[in-house]
Amino acid sequence: MIDASAFYLRYSPDIETVADDEAETAQGLMETMRSVSEKTLADGGHAIRSVHAKSHGFLEGELEVASGLPPMLAQGLFSKPATYPVIMRLSTIPGDIIDDSVSTPRGLAVKIIGVEGERLEGSEGDVTQDLVLVNGPAFGAPTPKAFLATLKLLAATTDKAEGFKKVVSGAMRGVQEIIVATTGGPNATVATMGGQPETNILGETFYSQVPVRFGDYVAKLSVVPVAPELTALTDKPLAEDAGPNAIREAVVEFFRASGGLWEVRAQLCTGLDDMPVENAAAVWPESESLYQTVARIRVKPQTAWSEARSSAVDDGLSFSPWHGLAAHRPLGGIMRSRKQAYEMGKRFRAERNGRTIAEPREAMVLPD
């Protein structure tokens, strides 16, 4: 009998390579993100996230780890069948609250509660595992230094009038259509600059984009809609006459009557040549390793957005891939460099808003 696990790369600390100037770049990332937070605080009087500031939905549900997983998938959080409460936050990536006609990539953050095991530094004593995901299979920049350059460009648009952003977004969507027609796939940088198609967020597949340790192995993760009601929304345009909160309104309308079902999948690394750890912009080929299901997330119909829910999640929680188990350590320069920026953002919002941001220890009941 063939041992399937022999095909996959074993985790070792030496798969990561730290650039000589990485600490300096990480400082630059933190300072740039803080400048965005300070600007939006000055404009709106309330501290918000420097990325993924606008929320479009909050969902409470549960994650069920699949039973009978093969050894290479039964790792870390997924090592044994179990059911955990989760909180999900849907968002878009800008650091300011803008009209949804300025179309940018979408995000999904999942907080899994009640997870026991050896912790990552900075999350000792907690019992949560966060998944921080975006609707694209790879990150928009290969290295921390390249990401910092892009982030500075985006930070400069925080001051720009919304009308200007709408014009740019419309132009970028046209550019993206040409790129897709020519190459067969979208460009992540163009999407970030406003070229994301104006489709329903609930039809999206979300990806970790960058690799994580997967127990004894290395993987990228995805969360994929599988309920027919959700898959029917893939690539479905939003209503043409939709208002400034069109994405949020579509989410609220859907979950008023329907629940949702997603699969959590892992793509195991087979080798660093085709599936690099330090090039975050590289799409790992599924011809080498398919995404395989390790768990399901299920939610019931509910009030998906309200001011009370926004207060509880936008202001009361933080999401970071560094909240979690040592078995799922984020890997690569992008994730190492963003660690202190996540921590800074949490402190900034807590201090400026006079709120306590703490990790839950048991299932949260979101207000309606």
User: Which residue in 313, 308, 316, 298 sits closest to 368, CA to CA?
Assistant: 308
In a domain, 138, yes or no: yes
> What is the model's pLDDT at position 96?
87
Is residue 159 one of the residues assigned to a domain? no
pLDDT value of position 171: 45
Given the structure tokens 């648009």, which residue do they identify?
157
Examine residue 367 and state whether it is found in any structural domain, yes or no. Answer: no
Q: Which of 33, 46, 29, 40 is nearest to 349 (CA)?
A: 46
Evaluate if residue 51 carries a pLDDT over 50: yes
Q: What's the confidence (pLDDT) of residue 190?
A: 52
Query: In the prediction, which pLDDT does 142 show?
Result: 96
pLDDT above 70 for 21 = yes
177 is a domain residue = no
Rounded CA separation 225/223 (Å): 7
Count structural domains, the chain: 1
Whether residue 114 contacts residue 362, with contact meaning beta carbons closer than 8 Å, is answered with yes
Residue 204: pLDDT over 80: yes
Which two structure tokens, joined as six digits, stand for 53?
């500031």
Confidence at residue 168, expressed as pLDDT on a 0 to 100 scale: 43
DSSP 312: I
Q: Residue 189: what pLDDT?
A: 56
DSSP secondary structure, 155-166, as one string: HHGGGS-HHHHH
Q: 12 CB contacts (<8 Å, ≥6 apart)?
A: none
Q: What is the CATH number of the domain that holds 323?
A: 2.40.180.10
Burial of 25: CB neighbours in 10 Å, binned 0-12, 13-18, 19+: buried
Give the pLDDT score at 235: 93
Is 11 within a domain?
Answer: yes
With respect to residue 167, please indicate whether it lies within any of the assigned structural domains: no
pLDDT at 165 over 60: no
Residues 158 and 95: beta-carbon distance below 8 Å = yes
C-alpha span between 177 and 212 (Å, rounded): 32
The band of 3, judged by pLDDT with boundaries at 50, 70 and 90, is: low
Burial class (CB in 10 A: 0-12, 13-18, 19+), 87: buried
> What range does the domain containing 295 cover?
4-152+199-351
For residue 315, how many other CB atoms are within 10 A of its CB? 18
Helix (H, G, I), strand (E, B) or coil at 218: strand
- Residue 243 confidence class, pLDDT cut points 50, 70, 90: confident
pLDDT bin (cut points 50, 70, 90) of residue 154 is confident
What local confidence, expressed as pLDDT, does residue 186 receive?
Answer: 62
Q: Which pLDDT tens digit goes with each residue over 83-111? A: 999 999 999 998 889 889 888 899 999 99
Q: What is the pTM of this model?
A: 0.92
Q: Is there a domain that residue 162 lies in?
A: no
In a domain, 188, yes or no: no
Q: Mean pLDDT across the chain, nearest whole number?
A: 90
97's tokens = 């609250």
Q: How do residues 244-262 score in pLDDT, each as one tens digit?
A: 999 999 999 999 999 999 9
